[in-house]
Structure 1
Amino acid sequence: MKKWVSAVEKRNFIKWFLDNHRLKRNEARMLLEFILKNHHILENIRFTEQIKPNEKTIVISSLNSDEPGFEFYYNKRKTDDVSTALGELMANPSAKVNMIVYFYGKSMNHRYLQLIEIPALDNIKRHEKHQKYSKEVDLVIEKAMLEKERQTLRHRIDLALDELNESLFKKLVVELKELEKKIESIAE
């Protein structure tokens, strides 16, 4: 379940980030400015919190972060050379690129939180949806089973009438009434 974020939102965040934070690596600033100038590259940027070694991932940090200033992961390799990342972006402008940005207060920054994909949150939402569907399916199955039981009781009542068995008839009618109350309570 991918979260779609517009290029305008990404651009606004990157501009805000560059305006409000000093980066550990000045070349990383140039890379972000290059991304801002190229709309088609910006559209393919995805903000995330996890390094994905099989995918292109750019990691950029501000001065007040404990993380490395710049890292680029591509083809199961890692480099701290900004020019390599810039070359990859220029050579493959339509390729998807993950970006991780480290700065003080990012966990509470609404601009940043709106951009990132949070797998744990997506998993929780998916689980809640699954639970809801599971309950609905259980309800449908229970209704079907009770309806089948109702049909069986009606058939047995008809047989009791055919055999003129009054005691069995009364017993089955009581069971049928209880079953119909149960069906009504489920329908609510």
Structure 2
Amino acid sequence: MSTISVSEKKEFIHWFLGHHELRKREVAWLLSYLSSKDELLKRVHFVEHVSQLPKSIVISTKCSDMPPFQFSRKKRVGTDVESVFYDLQLFPDEEIYIGLYFQDRTTCPKFAAVLEGNPMERQDLVQDQLLSLFAEMLLDQAVRRFQKKQLYARIDESLKNQDKNAFLELSTELNKLLDESK
């Protein structure tokens, strides 16, 4: 499932705890606990954004404006670190997504090395791409319909004016447009 190994996650957590001051001391205990349990750590994923995830934790350092700690499970949000320990005992097989907020996180190579994508964002991206494709198809269809209408009007005008050259040219253009839409 995860492309990041347990040892890489452990190494990152130890580095993170050694280099950053958390806004809640209990969060350090939680991260230490996670790093000591290989089976749990297999299901831990560090992500850039925790939106729309079934089970997520937001952790921030003193240099961040984000909330010190938030735990979200199935759209219920809490700020009690102890609740995560209980949840881990009750639901040890669930995936956990952690969003870390600290200074220079976007340029930190150690964070980038353990960063994984939010699976819900990928799902949203696919939906967005499908909607975009559908919109493009509708727009193409509307443009072709408009072009056909315009050509028919111009063909009628050429017949009315008895302009054989314009009629032939416009008829060829219409046939080409009709062939493209098949």
Normalization by structure 2: what TM-score? 0.62
- 1:51 shift after superposition: 1.7
Matches of 1:52 and 1:105, distance apart in 2: 21
User: Given that residues 47 and 98 in structure 2 are in contact (C-alpha distance below 8 angstroms), is that contact kept between their aligned partners in structure 1?
Assistant: yes
Quick check: which has more Rg, 1 or 2?
1
Match of 2:76 in 1: 77
Match of 2:142 in 1: none
| Alignment root-mean-square deviation, CA | 2.2
DSSP-derived class of the 1:114 partner: helix
- 1:83 shift after superposition: 0.8
DSSP-derived class of the 2:12 partner: helix
Q: Report the AA paired with residue 48 of structure 2.
A: E
DSSP-derived class of the 2:116 partner: coil
Match of 1:156 in 2: none
Matches of 1:23 and 1:57, distance apart in 2: 17
Match of 2:94 in 1: 95
DSSP-derived class of the 1:85 partner: helix
Match of 1:8 in 2: 7
Match of 2:20 in 1: 21
- 1:53 shift after superposition: 3.8
Structure 1: any 5+ residue segments left out of the alignment? 128-188
Q: Report the AA paired with residue 39 of structure 1.
A: D
Q: Report the AA paired with residue 20 of structure 1.
A: H
Match of 2:66 in 1: 67
Structure 2: any 5+ residue segments left out of the alignment? 127-182
Q: Deviations over 1:101-134 (max 9, x none)?
A: 1111110111111211246xx97xx99xxxxxxx
Normalization by structure 1: what TM-score? 0.60
How many residue pairs get matched? Answer: 122
- 1:94 shift after superposition: 1.8
DSSP-derived class of the 1:101 partner: strand
Percent sequence identity is 29
Match of 1:117 in 2: 116
Alignment of 1:129-168 (within 5 A): none
DSSP-derived class of the 2:16 partner: helix
Q: Deviations over 1:62-115 (max 9, x none)?
A: 111111110001021100010111111122222100011111111011111121
Moved more, 63-72 or 47-56: 47-56
User: Given that residues 72 and 78 in structure 1 are in contact (C-alpha distance below 8 angstroms), is that contact kept between their aligned partners in structure 2?
Assistant: yes
Matches of 1:79 and 1:31, distance apart in 2: 15
Matches of 1:37 and 1:118, distance apart in 2: 24
Structure 1 segments of 4+ aligned residues over 6 angstroms from their partners: none
Q: Report the AA paired with residue 33 of structure 2.
A: F
Matches of 2:114 and 2:38, distance apart in 1: 16
DSSP-derived class of the 1:4 partner: coil
